[in-house]
Amino acid sequence: MSTDLPLLLLQGFRVLIDGLHAELARHGHPDVRPVHGFVLQAVADGCTAVELGRRLGVTKQAAAKHVEVLEGLGYLRRVPDPHDARARIVRRTVRGEDCLARSARILGDLREGWVKVLGPDRVHALEHDLRAVTADAPLRVDVPGWLGL
């Protein structure tokens, strides 16, 4: 049915992300939620809460709330902006970097699980085909805003 494709893509995403978070919990990151991954990625090499909101597609207030939560959990820190005494730069902590590094390894392991089920050629073809149909769309981390979170 024509409506199956988006739901199957979403379900595949959920299976991967749910598996990721179960493993992250076992590896010392039990409080990280899917939205936190988008925030940690969007912070990149550092940004203000205003810029983080833009990157995530959410309000400055929503971005600040995410920063506050992740700062409390030890994944982010705010430091003075060397160019603007009124502003603070959000940066990942060592714990935040560890979370992202572990996430990458775990997602690699989860991909290998798909390879065991589907075979390497089919997984490679799936990735190739998804890149082909999304080639004109930039990779974005604004899913929280897009979903209205």
The reported pLDDT for the residue numbered 87 is 87
Helix axes 94-118, 120-133, angle to 10 degrees: 120
Mean pLDDT, to the nearest integer, of 98-123? 97
Structural contact between residues 90 and 48, judged by C-beta atoms closer than 8 angstroms: yes
Mean pLDDT, to the nearest integer, of 113-138? 93
The reported pLDDT for the residue numbered 1 is 63
The reported pLDDT for the residue numbered 2 is 73
What does the alpha-carbon distance between residue 49 and residue 62 come to, in Å, rounded to a whole number? 9
Residue 56 pLDDT grade (very low, low, confident, very high; cuts 50, 70, 90): confident
Give the highest mean pLDDT range of 3-7, 64-68, 134-138, 139-143.
Answer: 64-68
Residue 147 pLDDT grade (very low, low, confident, very high; cuts 50, 70, 90): low
**Please, is 24 exposed, middle or buried when counting C-beta atoms within 10 Å of its C-beta (0-12, 13-18, 19+)?**
buried
What does the pLDDT look like over 67-87, one tens digit per residue? Answer: 999 999 999 999 998 888 888
Check residues 21 and 81 and name the one with the higher pLDDT. Answer: 21
Residue 149 has pLDDT above 60, yes or no: no
